Amino acid sequence: MANITSVSPLACPLPSFIPVKGVRLGASAAQIKYMDRPDLMMMVFDKGTSVAGVFTKSRCPGAPIDWCKACLSLGNARALVVNSGNANVFTGRAGAQATQVTAAHAARLISCASSEVFLASTGVIGEILPTQKITDALPDLFNSLKPDGWEDAARAIMTTDTFPKAVSKQVKIGETTVTIQGIAKGSGMVAPDMATMLAFITTDARIGHDALQTLVSSTVETSFNSITVDSDTSTSDMVLAFATGAAANDKVRDVNDPSFADFRRAFADTMQELAIMIVKDGEGLSKLIQIDVSGGVDSHSARRIGLAVANSPLVKTAISGEDANWGRIVMAVGKSGEPANRDTLSVGIGGHWIARNGMLLADYEEAPIQKHLHERHVTIQIDLGLGNGAARIWGCDLTHGYVDINGSYRS
C-alpha cells in the first residue's frame, strides 16, 4: 500500500473530545497489514443502545456489509469492531466465516449476542482477512477500552487518510444536554452510494431505532452522498449511528418532535462536517471544490448535474492547474444526461458570474476568477434556469499525487 508521507493541505484538527456516556473505545496493533501503527478499533456500548445505518449500494459488497445489514433489523448494538488494511471483500466463504468468528469472539467478551456486534473492514480487496490476528488481539483491546479513547480509535481506522477525522457537539433535547460525537475515514474511491468511507456516530441521547434510522437515512443524502473524490464507489462503505440512551432524556420516537429540532440539526451538521473532511483528504488533492447548482427541474436532477461537474477529469484538472476554463463546466453539465438548456444556463466561479443565459457576459473580467482559483477552496455556481431544483456537491481537484497513491496501492 502506498506510503503517504505528506498531510493534506486542507487537514482539519481533531476536536476536544467529550466522553459519550455509555461508550468505551480504543485501538490496538493487530498487524493485519500495517506493522507500524494500530489497525484494530473497538467500541463497546451500554445495554439498551439503539443502532441505525446506511450502506454502500455496490453490487459486490464486503462480508461486513452483509453481516451488518442482517444485524441492523434487530435494532440493538453492544459493540463495534473495525479493522484497517484488509477490506474482507471478494473473499467468498472465508469472508463470511471471518465475520462470524470475529463477532462471536467479541460477543463472548461482552456477554451479548453475536447479532449485537457490528463489524467493518477497510483496505485491500481480494485478500483473505487474517481473522486469528483479530481474535488474538481482542481480549487485551477489550480490557483497555476507556471513555476517552477517541483519538486512538480515529487513527486506527485510517488507510490512505493523511489525518484522522472527528466531530464533537453538545446540544439539548428538552432540558437534557446530550453529546454527539463521530469519527470517519476516507480519502480515495469516494463517490455517492456511498464512498470508500466509514463513519461511526455516537450519542448518549435516548432515541428509538426507528427514529434514529429515519434520521440517518434523511441526512445521508446531503452529506456522505453529496461528496466525490474520484467517482468510484467502494464495496465497504457504511455509516452507523449508535444511541446509548445514557443521557436519560425523554425517549425520542418521532424525528419531527419539536423538542428534537436542535438535535436533528446538530446531527445533520455532524454528518456533513465529517463528509467534507473526507473530501478535504482526497488523495493527492490541492483544492476543495464546492459546486452549487440551482434552477434544476428538481433537486435530484440538480444533484446529478453537480456530480457530473465534480467528477469531470477536465474540470478537476483545470481547477488543479488554476485555469479559468469555464467551458469545461458547460461540457460537464451537458454530458450529465439531465435536463439542461444552453440558452438558460449561467455559470460562475468564486461568486463571479461568467456567462448568463448561454452567453459570455460583455463585461466579463478573468482577473478575479484567476485570483479565486489560487485559493484552497474553489466554488462553482451553476444556474440551469429551468426550475427550483437545487443541490450542493463537494469534490476536489485531480493531481499527479492521486496517480502516485493509487498506482502503488497494493505494493
- Active-site residues: which are they? 196
Query: What are the grid coordinates assigned to 104, written together?
Result: 462471536
The CA distance from 163 to 124, in Å, is 19
Maximum alpha-carbon separation in the chain: 72
Question: Could you give the angle at the alpha carbon of 220 between the alpha carbons of 47 and 152, nearest 5°?
Answer: 55
Which helix (H) or strand (E) segment holds residue 131: the answer is: helix 131-144
46-76 burial: b if 16+ Cβ within 10 Å, else e: eeebbbbbbbbebeebbbbbebbeebbeebb
Polymer length in residues for the chain: 411
Handedness of CA 408, 395, 196, 42 (dihedral sign): positive
Query: What are the grid coordinates assigned to 385, written together?
Result: 434556469
Q: In terms of Cα–Cα distance, which of 196, 238, 209, 220 is closest to 409? A: 196
The residue type of 171 is V
HSE (side-chain half, CA atoms, 13 Å) at 263: 31
The CA distance from 294 to 289, in Å, is 16
